[in-house]
Structure 1
Amino acid sequence: MSFLPERPTTRITEHDRDTAVLRVQEGYAEGHLSHEEMDERLHQVLTARTRGELVSALASLPEKPAESTVTIGAAGGRIKRRGAWRVPRTLKVESAFGRVYLDLSRAVVEHPVLDIELRLGTGGATIKVPRDAVVEIEGLRTWWKDSHYQSPRRTRPGGPTIRVSGAMGFGRLRIRHARW
């Protein structure tokens, strides 16, 4: 339950609640809970205010294994991810030639911080992020064209932080926030 704040009396965020709901649903799908137990625990999670209340709702569920880094690679051609895909905590994207398009706006984002490492030769990258995401691109080096990112005027709190790092040769990074 590493996604939860440290102290049991700490108030939880909506992201903490959403992550706990997902964990209870996964526990049911994996056969660790009966339907009635799932209903009870979902009620606990949805009415919880503190970490301690969430911990009791998630008790007896096995710890979710830590996700490793996922690498998507292509020598040439396009790399494209969109729709309802599960985004790992750390995503490495490697391409010698070709464009990259990552749409995170409808993706399943379970982590409050995502690290995306780009290793691109030629070809640009476009990343579409959720409307409430905070994007950091300071860790990205570009050799030919500068990255294009303009943060939105208004954002809602609670979105994921997306840190983009790595190196790009002869392409440009474009980051857009979803409009809905």
Structure 2
Amino acid sequence: MTAEYPESFHRGELRVSHAEREAVVARLNEAAAEGRIDLAELDERLEQALTAKTYADLAPLTADLPPVVSLDPGQPLVLKGGLHGAARVGRWQVPAKVVAYGGMGGAKLDFTQADCRLPVVEVEAHGQMAGVTIVLPDGWAVETGGMDPGLGGLRDKTTSDRLPGTPLIRLTGTGGPAGVVVRHPNGFERRKLKRISAQRP
């Protein structure tokens, strides 16, 4: 049976689902990782996406972004800091391997909201001039034996208390001049996660 609406009714007035909100959140995170929007704008758009009620609320958030090109799930994710920095934050699907280059602007990999169903994730980080920051949820562990600290060093601020069923991050690469930091969420990030969690249906 096909739903019928009055002639004056616009699709934009229809209510969106949780899955549709999450799809927009994923696209926004992709755009930030690609350098199309900065982190401040990402935070603003994510806030609007998570509280959107209708298609009219969601549509403007990705209207100025090109469509996503689907990748082979087994293909590594490559994040390049470049001149302006890059980040993979929010909801994203974790592949078996991630390569991050700090470049001149820095790179950030935030796994706190990521969907990861793998027992081991290979992360190759190259700090370069601005460094790479990796944020892991509580209970996740990192193995750093294959990492060359370089001049900038490797700072592992995580705890060793790995919870059963959580992924192991196997870190390799080089610290370079700026180094690589691996840590759990800081106070600001924890407050943000709590706020996002409270907003979800």
> Normalising by structure 2, what TM-score?
0.52
Q: Structure 1 residue aligned with 2:166, among 141, 154, 159?
A: 159
Name the SS of the counterpart of 2:152 in structure 1.
coil
Secondary structure of the 1:109 match is coil
Note the residue ranges of structure 2 that are not aligned, 5 or more in a row: 1-71, 195-201
* Cα pair 2:150 2:179 within 8 Å, conserved: no
Q: Counterparts of 2:133 and 2:101 in 1: how far apart (Å)?
A: 14
CA distance in 2, matches of 1:74, 1:125: 9
Quick check: 1:175 aligned with 2:175? no
Residue number among 129, 133, 136 corresponding to 1:129 in the alignment: 136
Alpha-carbon contact 2:100-2:132 (below 8 Å) kept: no
Instruction: Spell out the pairing of 1:68-87 with structure 2 (5 A cutoff).
Output: 68-87=75-94
Kept in 1, the 8 Å contact 2:154–2:175? The answer is: no
Among the aligned pairs, what percent are the same residue?
Answer: 25
Distance 1:124 1:96, change over 3 A: closer
Distance 2:126 2:89 in 1: 20
Find the residue that maps to 2:166 and give its secondary structure: coil
Inter-CA distance 76–150: structure 2 relative to 1 (3 Å threshold): same
Which is helix-richer, 1 or 2? 2
Q: Work out the CA distance in 1 between the residues paired with 2:103 and 2:92.
A: 24
Matched, 1:114 2:121: yes
1:95 Cα deviation from its structure 2 partner: 4.0
Deviation beyond 6 Å, 4+ runs, structure 1: none
Change in 2 beyond 3 A, CA 1:66/1:119: same
Say which structure is richer in strand: 1
Question: Does residue 100 of the first structure (1) align with residue 103 of the second (2)?
Answer: no
Aligned residue for 1:9? none
Task: State whether structure 2 residue 96 is matched by structure 1 residue 89.
Answer: yes
Partner of residue 138, structure 1: 145
1:26-50: CA deviation from partner (whole Å, max 9, x where unpaired)? xxxxxxxxxxxxxxxxxxxxxxxxx
Q: Write the distance in 2 (CA, Å) between the matches of 1:136 and 1:143.
A: 17
Task: Report the CA distance shift for 1:154/1:168 in structure 2 as closer, same or farther (over 3 A).
Answer: closer
CA contact (8 A) 1:76 1:95 kept: no
Residues of 2 paired with 1:151 and 1:91: CA distance?
Answer: 19
Tell me the distance in 1 between the aligned counterparts of 2:149 and 2:161: 28
Q: What is the SS of the residue equivalent to 1:166?
A: strand
CA RMSD, Structure 1 to Structure 2 (Å): 2.2
Give deviations 1:99-137, integer Å, cap 9, x for gaps.
Answer: 111110111112110011113321112111121112011
Structure 1 counterpart of 2:143, one-letter code: E
| Separation in structure 2 between the aligned mates of residue 164 and residue 75 of structure 1, nearest angstrom | 21
SS in 2 for 1:87: coil
Matched residue of 2:74: which SS?
Answer: coil
